[in-house]
Chains A and B, each alone.
Chain A
Amino acid sequence: MPRHFFIAILTFYLMSTAAVVQASLKLPATVKVESAALTAEPMCDPKISLAWREAQEIDGVKIDASPGCSPDNPVWIAAAVKGTNNISMDTLMKTGLSPDAIIKTDDIDGDGDPDRIIIKLEIMELNGRSPDFPGIVPTFDIAPGVQPGAWVFAPKTSGMSTENFESVRANPLLRLPSPVIRVEQGDIVQIVLENTHYFPHSIHLHGVDHPFSHGEHGGQDGVPQTSEVELMPGGRRVYQFQARQPGTMFYHCHVQTHTHLAMGLAGMIVIEENKPNNWVQTLNIGGGHVRHRSVAVREQFDQEYDLHYHAMDKELSEIIQKYNDPRLIARDMNQRYDITDATEDYYTLNGLSFPYTLRESLIVVDPDQKIKLRMLNSGGELIAVHTHGHHATITHYDGVEHNPAAQIMRDVFDMAPAQRLDLKLETIDDGKHSYGPGDWLIHDHREKGITTNGMAEGGSMSSIVYKSYLGESGMPKVSHFGIDLSQYFTKEYFERRVPIWQNLDDFASLGSPGGDDGLSAANQATLLNALIGLLIGLLVYGVFAKREYIKQTFMAMVSRSKDAKGGTNNG
């Protein structure tokens, strides 16, 4: 066997052993993600005018101030209070609503407010597949870059589904959640469903006093197995009721409910007490702060918030992004999707996940206020909402008042699917109602509830913020604690590409380690093993090839030793 070959292998072996020793002396350096590499979004949506936050009056409708980042468009509130039929042309044009979206007429009981209410709802798809380009349309982000496919009941709009022809972003009226509906006890209400979607749907008025069947409009419990056939695409159906009881209720599609509800066809509906001159805000688009409260709520509370908790399954919502053909979507949703094997991935509050909840669903308070919180859980599992720094009183379960003497205070509010709770939150600094001013978290205490597809911080968490902790921008003031919320306003964060602790110290001790320059220890071991194998192989081959020579040498050696032995014996 050539000697130089052996030497080469031996040298390589020694060198690679040295490399292992070298690598363990110094681990890879930390690679920091520069902020310039991130798609940073402004914390507040710059498209939303600062003027929207102010207290104002439009067409005679008084609108409370709302100091958060993204308050409701005041013209929407004006239209919702007066009806699209009673506002000025100018205001109507600014809403983007169809002129017949909310029709309010006839003061039947003569108490100064309209009692005949017609609300027209369409069904819109968000983040669905396009056959034209490899993207989705119209887009709606629940968090930066997070765009689950969804369906919503939307107020009847006018014009395009996107912001404009160049944009794929959804018209602001087309959004999660389905809008909060508010009517007065005793109103003759018609909810007119115009099915603009490509699937059959319906409306079930959960908790709302409605007749099972209406003389003119037929069965109207929304259930295709009991009261009516599915409303097909292109069709219209009227759901009429005159609710005798007030309360926080729920409406949702009851066609293939196990998928349609989770897709977003679910909203809060509130029946307000009948009071004189009670012009209620018929739609609270996007939920959250109610900037034009009913008479009864104004009498008893300083503020009111609608908090709609929802959950969506990624695998379900992706079906409408996978196919364009409605038959394939129907097949996957109806026959292939198995909800018993499913898990929820997106947790939203008023249609959005953290950090966007900070834009829209902050509960902004002053000390010594009484605040009404109406909560709905339209997710598929029980949730447990915790109010940091506060105990609140449960006043109503599922729209029905709890015996005032027996009402209890809690700081965790468990809500079964479809359940509603009305809370009285009092910001009295007594160590029980409130521990004093702050930026207090309000979140689902199942820990997955504060994640977005498993990535924290996300989910449905928001804050109860005292005005002394609210910044000029409308975001909670946290910078004086050294907190920077900006990383949450990047899509890379929710793509799991940002080492979330890299900025906690100046040398990024918990940042991302770079890769090995040369061979990793594991690779080196593999290589060594291969080398040893090669060596053994060569040896065996060598032995085989030179077996005659070896045999001869061996024989010679043996005979020589025999000879020697013999020699000595003989000699």
Chain B
Amino acid sequence: MVKQTTALMVASIFAMSVPALAQQPAKPNEHVHDHGADTAPSKSANGQPKSDEHDHHDHSGHTMSQDKGTAVDHEGMHADDHSQHDMDHDHATDHSAHSAQSTEHGDGHHHHHMDNDHIMDHEGTMIMGQNLDKLPSSCKSISESVEITVKAGRKYARNFPGTAFAFDQQQWNVKPCSKVTFHFVNEDNIRHQFMMHGLPKYLYKYGMFHLEVTGPKTVSGTIIVPGSDDTFLVHCDISHHMEKGMKAQLVVGKGAESIPSIPGLTPYNRNDTYEAENLPKASDKAAQSAMVRQITAFTNNSNMQNYAMIGLGALLGLFVIPLFRKILLRKKSTE
């Protein structure tokens, strides 16, 4: 009994450790390397002075307004009182996407605007907690300006079995005190978010920086990261998008503790248990010999097969075993 339970325990420990191992990235080094390579060119491409920052509009995500025009009628939107909307163009939302309809709008660049922390357009494209110029107290100056393109969509889940949505990368590295502009490219036809948590609250309301857009479309926003090494959670907060893969981290400098359950990067805190299923396989069929097929042809009932096996056993017993005995006896006698 004691032996049995120990064996069970050992088995379950082993069973639990297998999925845990499976969670580990296959080639962790390669991942880190990839990120470095990706951020490097965008850094060099960005040497512009600060005033140019306002003109960084992403021009890659036009498709939505044209082909989904049936579902998005902007007419009534602008019957509204415009005066309450601050026409602030500091934010880098994708204005170009509206150009096709700018005539009917009368104002192609119209955006709802709550306050400087919260910019939203008529389709729900949102920039929250953007920071273009406020230096964190831990920084004397901006170390560098970086642009990072983050792609989001279902197709990036392909790399991580068992997820449904993902970002194209799971980690981005920046220097402390760098000014980072994120171009968030949503490639799906639904909403996704690029939401960052844990930023200093004196600069970022709720410690959050948040981009949100219904795809296919791009939204861009800028922050200035703190001067100390740190790691920030990035996720999409739509119900179960993070849980099902849309999770990443922004590493400032050497970073801090890694965030759990980032696909391919860090293990889940709670793992599912997996068991191999008895799935039908094409090879099962091929393995069946012609003989077996002949037998099963007229005994395709499992009982019949059982009886056939018993019969075979009986035959074996009747003829083969006496034969063996004879052989053995003969051997003995020759000895």
Contact = CB atoms under 8 A, between A and B. Distances in A.
Contacts of B244: 198, 324, 326
Interface stretch (A85-93, A277-285, A437-445): A85-93
Given A118-B71, A132-B269, A158-B126, A194 B121 contact: no
Nearest to A322: B272
Top-3 shortest CB links A-B: A198-B164, A234-B188, A234-B154
Contacts of A90: 84
A564 to B, nearest CB: 59
Interface string B37-71: 00000000000000000000000000000001011
Interface stretch (A121-129, A385-393, A495-503): A121-129
A323 B73 contact: no
A195 interface: yes
Interface of B: 68, 70-77, 79-81, 84-85, 112, 114, 120-124, 126, 153-154, 161-165, 188-191, 195, 197, 206, 208, 210, 212, 214, 237-241, 243-244, 260-261, 268-272, 274, 277
Nearest to B120: A99
B73 to A, nearest CB: 5
Contact of B188 (A198, A235, A327): A235
A160 B237 contact: yes
Interface stretch (A34-42, A161-169, A362-370, A515-523): A161-169
A62 interface: no
B236 to A, nearest CB: 9
Contact of A131 (B72, B190, B270): B270
Nearest to B164: A198
13 contacts: A98-B214, A105-B75, A124-B238, A126-B239, A132-B243, A134-B270, A156-B191, A160-B237, A198-B240, A233-B164, A233-B165, A234-B189, A328-B274
B76 A105 contact: yes
A325 B121 contact: no
Nearest to B71: A192
Contacts of B81: 88
Contacts of B162: 324-327
A483 B254 CA distance: 63
A202 to B, nearest CB: 15
Contacts of B210: 159
A125 B239 contact: yes
Interface centre among B77, B124, B241 (most CB of A within 10 A): B124
A197 B244 CA distance: 10
Interface of A: 83, 85-86, 88-90, 92-93, 98-100, 103-106, 114, 116, 118, 120, 122, 124-126, 128-134, 137-138, 156, 158-162, 164-165, 170, 174, 190, 192, 194-198, 216, 232-236, 238, 323-328, 331
Contacts of A124: 238-239
B240 A128 contact: yes
Contacts of B191: 98, 122, 156, 194, 196
Interface centre among B121, B162, B210 (most CB of A within 10 A): B162
A88 B80 contact: yes
Nearest to A86: B76
A164 B195 CA distance: 13
B243 A331 contact: no
A197 B120 CA distance: 24
Nearest to A170: B239
Contacts of A194: 189-191, 214
Contacts of B272: 323-325, 328
Given A89-B85, A100-B122, A132-B243, 5 more contacts: A105-B76, A131-B260, A133-B269, A326-B164, A327-B162
A129 B154 contact: no
Given A161-B237, A194-B190, A326-B244, A130 B270 contact: yes
**Chain B binding surface, main DSSP class:** loop
A105 B72 CA distance: 10
A160 B68 CA distance: 25
Contacts of A131: 243, 260-261, 268-271
A159 B210 CA distance: 9
B214 A162 contact: no
Nearest to A235: B189
A96 to B, nearest CB: 11
A86 B191 CA distance: 22
A236 B189 contact: yes
Contacts of A122: 190-191, 238
B240 A197 contact: yes
Nearest to A87: B80
Contacts of A100: 72, 122-124, 214
Nearest to B244: A198
Contact of A85 (B77, B214, B239): B77
Given A98-B124, A130-B270, A159-B212, A190 B70 contact: yes
Nearest to A133: B269
A138 B74 CA distance: 32
Nearest to A238: B71
Nearest to A82: B76
Contacts of B165: 198, 233-234
Contacts of B72: 100, 103, 118
Given A161-B237, A198-B165, A233-B154, A103 B73 contact: yes
Interface centre among A104, A125, A159, A170 (most CB of B within 10 A): A159
Given A89-B85, A234-B165, A326-B162, A105 B238 contact: no
Contact of B243 (A114, A126, A130): A130
B71 to A, nearest CB: 5
Contacts of A236: 68, 71, 189-190
Contacts of B277: 331
B190 A234 contact: yes
B153 A86 contact: no
Contacts of A331: 277
